[in-house]
Amino acid sequence: MALTGHARVAGVMGWPVGHSRSPRLHGFWLERHGIDGAYVPLPVPPERFAEAVRGLLAAGFAGANVTVPHKQAAFACCDVVEDSARRAGAVNTLVFRDGLIHGSNTDGWGFLESVREQAPGWEAAAGPAAVLGAGGAARAVATALLEAGAPRVVLCNRTAARAEVLARDLEAAGTGRIAVAADPPAALRGAALLVNTTSLGMAGQPPLELDLAPLPEGAVVADIVYVPLETPLLRSARARGLRAVDGLGMLLHQARPGFRDWFGVLPVVDAALRAHVAADIPLR
C-alpha cells in the first residue's frame, strides 16, 4: 500500500540497529492489514537517545520499539511508565499519545506467549523455573514467570553478585519465591522450565555449554536467542526428548501490543509470519 500524508510511522531505536528483524516483522503486518503506515530502523547513539525520542514525538511519530542499549535510558525518558516497565526496570515500547511519552515492557508477556505457543499445555505453575542470566531480559522473564504463578524462580549467573542483586530487587515485590543457585546443575535440578536469557549460543558468541541431565523428564527448555534459530542448547534439549522453545516466538509476540497501539490493529502470530521472519535468520 502506498503511503499518504496521513501515514502513521513507528520504528525501532538501537545502536546498532541494522541487525534488527523488527522492520521485516512489522512490515509484514502493515502489508497484511493494508495499513497506511511505515516502520523504520532508527540508529541512535546513546548520548543522543533522549534528544532523539523527543524529536520523534515532535515529528509526529506514533511511537517506537527500543532495543539494546537503550532500554534503561528509555525508562528515564517517559512521562508515563506502565506497570510492566516499572516491574521490569526497563522500557522496550514507546507510545506517543496526547503529547506524552508512554513506556511499557512487553518482553515478559511475549516470552510467556511464546512458551505457551511452542509448548502447548505448559503452565508456569507446573514447577520451578531456572533462569540463566541476570540482565534486563532475565529481569523481564523472571518477573513474568512469578506473576504467572511459578512456584519458584531460581537465578544463575556467571557473576553471582549480579544474580544476588536481581534476586533482591525481585524480592522487594514480596514474592518470597526467588532464589539464587551457585551453579547451573543446582539451578536445573527439578526445574520444570529452563530459560537462557544470556547471549551465549548467539551467532558470534561462545556456545552455552550445559549438561541438561539434572532436568526432569517433561521439562521445557527455552532460549531467547533467535540468531541462529536452532541454538546448541535447543539441539541438546531435543536430543534428550525435551520440548524446546526458540527465541523467535518471543520476538514475534512482544511486538504485538506496540503494533496495536501505533497502527490500531492487534495482529496475530501465525505460520506465515514466522516463515517470513525466519527466512532472514540462519537455522544454525
Cα–Cα distance, 56 to 48 (Å, whole number) = 12
Contact 208, 194 (CB under 8 A): no
CA distance 17 to 23: 10
Of the residues 8, 26, 70, 71, only one is catalytic, namely 71
In 3D space, the residue among 127, 149, 110 whose CA is nearest the CA of residue 218 turns out to be 127
Cβ atoms of 148 and 124 closer than 8 Å:
yes
Residue 71 falls in the annotated catalytic set: yes
Nearest by Cα to 70 from 87, 95, 94, 106: 94
Q: Going by C-beta distance under 8 Å and a sequence separation of 6 or more, which residues neighbour residue 77?
A: 49, 50, 53, 54, 91, 94, 101, 103
What region does 133 belong to: left with phi over 0, alpha with psi -120 to 50, or beta?
left
Active-site residue set: 71
